[in-house]
Amino acid sequence: MFRKVIFPVDLTHFDQLDKALQVATDLARHYGAELCFVGVTGTAPDPVAHSPAEYAARLERRAQDHAAATGLRTGAKACHTPDPTIDTDKTLLAAIRELGGDLVVMQTHAPSALDYIWAGHGDTIAAHSEASVFLVR
């Protein structure tokens, strides 16, 4: 039913994504789909990497490690934008379209009052992506 599962990744908090990654892995295995890590980074150095290229290499490494550990087909796409604070959602949506992802599994924070003003990344992706979206709290 699904051919490509997109897994948006925040490399800064990769160790907190266990639950969502497990769901993404299970679904990809169940449908025999490819699992693709997508990360969005800024152009300036940040705690994860000194440059977009270094970030891309780290993300690729994550995907390869995951393939080795699970036997799944994995891919990685690193996107960069000059203003990640604002443009992360827009960039993710474009990447999902470009990659042809038909299922998105992503981790999201517990809802709070602020969501009435600023929706979280997961909410926005679910509201605007044509793919099916599975949010993991």
Partner 1 sequence: MSQPDEAATDALPEPEGASELIETDYEIGQDNITPRIGPFGLDIHNPVFVVSGLVVVAFVIITLAFQDAVGPALGAMRGYLTSTFDWFFLMAGNIFVIVCLGILVSPLGKVRIGGADATPDYSYLGWFAMLFAAGMGIGLMFFGVLEPAYYFGTPWGDQPLGRDIGIVDGELMDPATVEAARLTAMAATIYHWGLHPWAIYAVVALSLALFAYNKGLPLTVRSIFYPIFGERIWGWPGHVIDILAVFATLFGLATSLGFGAQQATAGIGYVFGIDGLNDTATFPVILIAVITALALISVLRGLDGGVKVLSEINMVLAVLLLLFVILVGPTMTLVTQFFGNMGAYASEIFALSNPVGREDDGYRQGWTSFYWAWWISWSPFVGMFIARVSRGRSVREFITCVLLIPTIVSAIWMTTFGGTAIDQLINQVTESAVYGFVIDAYVPELSLFGMLSELPFAAITSVIGIILVIVFFVTSSDSGSLVIDTITAGGKINAPVSQRVFWVIFEGLVAAALLLGGGLVALQAASVSTGLPFAIVLLLACYALVRGLLTEPR
11 vs 96, beta carbon nearer partner 1: 11
99 in contact with partner 1 (CB under 8 A) = no
Closest approach of partner 1 to the CB of residue 1, in Å: 27
70 vs 132, beta carbon nearer partner 1: 70
45 in contact with partner 1 (CB under 8 A) = yes
Stretch that binds partner 1, among 9-17, 28-36, 100-108, 127-135 (CB under 8 A): 9-17
Question: Which residue carries 């799944």 as its tokens?
Answer: 72
Nearest to 35 by CA among 13, 1, 64, 15: 64
123 in contact with partner 1 (CB under 8 A) = no
Stretch that binds partner 1, among 1-9, 37-45, 100-108, 121-129 (CB under 8 A): 37-45
Sheet holding 34-41: strands in order across? 74-80, 34-41, 4-9, 103-107, 132-136
Residues 6+ apart with CB under 8 A from 95: 6, 38, 40, 77, 79
Helix extents (H) in the chain: 18-31, 52-70, 84-99, 121-128
Name the residues that contact partner 1, by CB under 8 A. 11, 14-15, 18, 41-54, 57-58, 61-62, 65-66, 69, 81-88, 112-114, 118
